[in-house]
């Protein structure tokens, strides 16, 4: 019996030694909430260390910056991908830096330059990856964030369109075929978005202020009515401040 217990202890010790941080993160992503709580608790010193470097002063658990960093660390756990070219702590470091910098900029409205340090020892005494590897991890993270932001914008935009009885399917059929007509419709839509009275009328009545528009544009009522849904759709992109969609229509 004693030999079996000893064997069990040896096996468990080997398992603990070979289990990496990345293994723990993957286990947390599978839904192990208890491990998540323990993991975050264990790495609070690391979170404070990174946050203090960003802020150039000591940060403790009572400060807003630490709360932001704690949230960022939890976010890093969810966003980390094993094949993205960096260890978890490197990735978490980058996410924390970015979130804390964003917080500082919002609070002080001043830009602060924070650099990535190459060959710095992490919490386990290992050397961090090179600057290039850190940059690759950050690029991967930023790309994922942009994708998620675009998806969010599309969902919100679709909701706005539905209030006007417009769907993406209908919109694809309503897009003017000729470039000149399309550009003219875009200009009318932008005019509506930039005019407080026009935009208020559109949002309240769910209709174009056609009568007033005719006093400011050179095209006919028939042209405006023919492109009505397209004009409304473009105006809503401006009014909703959908940056990704704005870039698309400008392109």
More confident residue, 14 or 135: 135
Q: Is the separation of the CB atoms in 133 and 90 below 8 Å?
A: yes
How would residue 247 be classed by pLDDT, with cut points 50, 70 and 90?
confident
Please tell me the distance from the alpha carbon of residue 96 to that of residue 217, in angstroms, as a whole number: 50
Contacts of residue 150, Cβ cutoff 8 Å, sequence gap at least 6: 244
Read off the pLDDT of each residue in 103-129 and give the average, rounded to a whole number: 51
The helix (H) or strand (E) run that includes residue 214 is none
Please tell me the distance from the alpha carbon of residue 251 to that of residue 235, in angstroms, as a whole number: 16
Please tell me the distance from the alpha carbon of residue 39 to that of residue 121, in angstroms, as a whole number: 20
Q: Could you state, in order of their start, the residue ranges of all structural domains in the chain? A: 17-149, 163-250
Residues 156-203 have pLDDT tens digits of 889 889 989 998 888 888 888 888 888 999 999 999 988 889 989 998
Whether pLDDT at 125 is above 60: no
Specify the pLDDT at position 4.
45
Q: Is the separation of the CB atoms in 189 and 234 below 8 Å?
A: yes
Q: Which of 41-50, 95-104, 116-125, 188-197 is predicted least confidently?
A: 116-125
Mean pLDDT, the chain, whole residue set = 78
- List, as one string, the DSSP characters of 133-184: HHHHHHHHHHHHHHHHHHHHHHHHHHHHHHTTT--HHHHHHHS-SSHHHHHH
More confident residue, 130 or 237: 237
Read off the pLDDT of each residue in 15-29 and give the average, rounded to a whole number: 76
Q: Is the separation of the CB atoms in 52 and 58 below 8 Å?
A: yes
Whether pLDDT at 134 is above 70: no
Please tell me the distance from the alpha carbon of residue 72 to that of residue 136, in angstroms, as a whole number: 19
């Amino acid at each position: 019996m004693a030999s079996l217990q000893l064997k069990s202890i040896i096996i468990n010790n080997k398992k603990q030694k070979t289990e990496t941080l990345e293994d723990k993160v993957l286990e947390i992503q599978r839904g192990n909430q208890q491990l998540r709580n323990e993991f975050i608790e264990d790495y609070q010193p690391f979170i404070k260390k990174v946050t203090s470097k960003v802020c150039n002063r000591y940060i403790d658990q009572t400060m807003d910056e630490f709360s932001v960093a704690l949230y960022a660390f939890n976010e890093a756990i969810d966003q980390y991908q094993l094949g993205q070219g960096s260890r978890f702590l490197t990735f978490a470091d980058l996410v924390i830096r970015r979130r804390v910098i964003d917080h500082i900029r919002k609070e002080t409205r001043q830009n602060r330059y924070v650099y990535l340090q190459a060959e710095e020892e992490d919490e386990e005494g290992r050397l961090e990856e090179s600057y290039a590897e850190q940059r690759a991890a950050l690029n991967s993270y930023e790309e994922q964030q942009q994708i998620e932001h675009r998806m969010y914008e599309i969902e919100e935009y679709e909701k706005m369109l539905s209030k006007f009885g417009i769907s993406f399917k209908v919109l694809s059929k309503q897009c003017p075929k000729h470039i000149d007509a399309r550009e003219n419709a875009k200009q009318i839509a932008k005019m509506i978005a930039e005019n407080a009275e026009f935009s208020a009328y559109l949002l309240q009545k769910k209709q174009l202020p056609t009568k007033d528009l005719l006093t400011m544009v050179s095209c006919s009522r028939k042209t405006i009515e023919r492109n009505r849904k397209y004009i409304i759709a473009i105006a809503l992109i401006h009014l909703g401040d959908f940056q990704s969609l704005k870039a698309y229509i400008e392109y």
